[in-house]
Chain A
Amino acid sequence: DAKTTQPTSMDCAEGRAANLPCNHSTISGNEYVYWYRQIHSQGPQYIIHGLKNNETNEMASLIITEDRKSSTLILPHATLRDTAVYYCIVTRDHNYGQNFVFGPGTRLSVLP
């Protein structure tokens, strides 16, 4: 699975959009981009995933560049409860089971 690079930390003002970047320049054609977040000492929470098209759900939007070498997770109106570590993971469908490789992620602080 391709490796990802994320900024160590970011700040965002409450109510503003939080844009979290992820670089995955070695991504293969059959690899998906997943985003999870982990609020302090809780289990990671699934946010969204996509292959090449932009995706949106009730939590966030995922924008994947046309060359698929990078992506951005957008939280449209960040709240204090969005303060967490955000993980970008690139993986493909392994027929022997999924094994997510988590990097250090981005620590997002939403400030009042």
Chain B
Amino acid sequence: KAGVTQTPRYLIKTRGQQVTLSCSPISGHRSVSWYQQTPGQGLQFLFEYFSETQRNKGNFPGRFSGRQFSNSRSEMNVSTLELGDSALYLCASSGRIGPMDTQYFGPGTRLTVL
């Protein structure tokens, strides 16, 4: 099976702009989660989508939003970019191994805000 794919892999934006990142989950996976990773804060959970519905949300401002399509592909959007939004954004899709969901991560999108 193909793994989780994320596009683009690298992105440079300026403050005030908005950005959309895309994630294609592993075939058959219906849950997609997004994480932000920065050197100072580590890996932090943004939100999780299942069957086009946001099921869980982390502690991030409303500038961070997401959506999921009927084919389970997901996008996340960051509006009014700030310098502190520079980070590696990771997407993970979930599948069952035994009784538990296990997350499989994509390679990430490296966002740099200038």
Contacts and interface: CB of A to CB of B under 8 A. Distances in A.
B106 to A, nearest CB: 5
A112 B45 CA distance: 35
B31 A98 contact: yes
Interface residues of B, number: 29
Interface in B26-75: 31, 33, 35, 42-45, 48, 50, 55-56, 58
Interface residues of A, number: 22
B99 interface: yes
A44 B45 CA distance: 13
Contacts of A96: 55-56
A26 to B, nearest CB: 19
Contacts of A94: 56
Contacts of B58: 99
Contact of B42 (A36, A45, A104): A104
Contacts of B56: 94, 96-97, 99
Contact of A44 (B31, B48, B99, B105): B105
Given A97-B31, A98-B48, A43 B55 contact: no
Interface in B76-94: 88, 90, 92, 94
A46 B103 contact: yes
A49 B97 contact: yes
Contacts of A36: 105
A94 to B, nearest CB: 8
Interface of B: 4, 31, 33, 35, 42-45, 48, 50, 55-56, 58, 88, 90, 92, 94, 97, 99-108, 110
Given A32-B100, A100-B33, 12 more contacts: A41-B110, A42-B108, A43-B90, A43-B107, A44-B92, A49-B97, A93-B100, A94-B56, A97-B56, A98-B103, A99-B48, A102-B43
25 contacts: A32-B100, A34-B102, A36-B105, A41-B88, A43-B90, A43-B106, A43-B107, A46-B103, A46-B104, A46-B105, A49-B97, A49-B100, A93-B99, A93-B100, A97-B33, A97-B55, A97-B101, A98-B31, A98-B48, A99-B45, A99-B58, A100-B33, A102-B35, A102-B42, A102-B43
